[in-house]
Structure 1
Amino acid sequence: MVPKSPLEDPQSAAHAWARYRRLMRFMFGVTVGVVAIALALLYKTEGSVSVHFYIAVALGIGFSMLLMSALMGLVFLSNGTGHDASVDNRLPKSDED
């Protein structure tokens, strides 16, 4: 019998997802700040280059940071709620022992 995940409880799941959304809002703010600082530093050091360069840098940094924070947030959500502990990870016995 596989134990139930704590995320199956609606109250526990609502709390966990609210915490995840709060983390993502915080990381969005951090990402906007990092992109702004990176663009300012690039403008200061490189000067006047194509606008496409700045767009590519902003999208590259922004997408990378948001993707990494979303995936790490899901890891924190899974571990923090006990969802990882409810996984049945027992392997069948092999005959080659």
Structure 2
Amino acid sequence: MTQRSPFSDTATAAAAWARFRRIMRWMFLVTMTTVIGALTVLYKQEGMVSPHFYIAVAIGVSFAMLLMSALMGLVFLSSGSGHDEDVTAPLEDDQDLRR
């Protein structure tokens, strides 16, 4: 029998999602600061190259950092809400499958 998810409680779910959104807002600011810093360093070292180069760098760095932030945020969301403790081993009771 499956146990009740911690996200079934609306207060717990709302608090967990609010924390996730707060983490993502901060990471968006960190990402934009990093992108601006990276573009500044590239411009000082390379000078004016094709604008497509700077666009590609900005999109690549932004996408990578925001994707990693979202995935880590979801890990924190799952762990912080107690959702990870809710997982049970489905084969725990089946002796034939454990051999």
With normalisation by structure 1, the TM-score equals 0.93
8 A contact 1:2–1:86 mirrored in 2: no
AA aligned to 1:32 is M
CA 45–75 in structure 1, closer or farther in 2 if over 3 Å, else same: same
Alpha-carbon distance, 1:89 to partner: 1.9
1:93 match: 95
State whether structure 2 residue 86 is matched by structure 1 residue 74. Answer: no
Structure ranking higher on relative contact order (CA contacts 8 Å, 6+ apart): 1
Listed one character per residue, the Cα deviations across residues 17-59 of structure 1 (whole Å, up to 9, x for unaligned) are 0000000000000000000000000000011100000000000
Q: Distance in 1 between matches of 2:97 and 2:56?
A: 55
Identity, % of aligned pairs? 59
SS at match of 2:68: helix
Q: Where has structure 1 moved over 4 Å in runs of 4 or more?
A: none
Q: How do residues 1-97 of structure 1 correspond to structure 2 at under 5 angstroms?
A: 1-91=1-91, 92-94=94-96, 97=99
Superposed CA RMSD in Å reads 1.3
Query: Aligned residue pairs: how many?
Result: 97
AA aligned to 1:53 is F
CA 95–40 in structure 1, closer or farther in 2 if over 3 Å, else same: closer
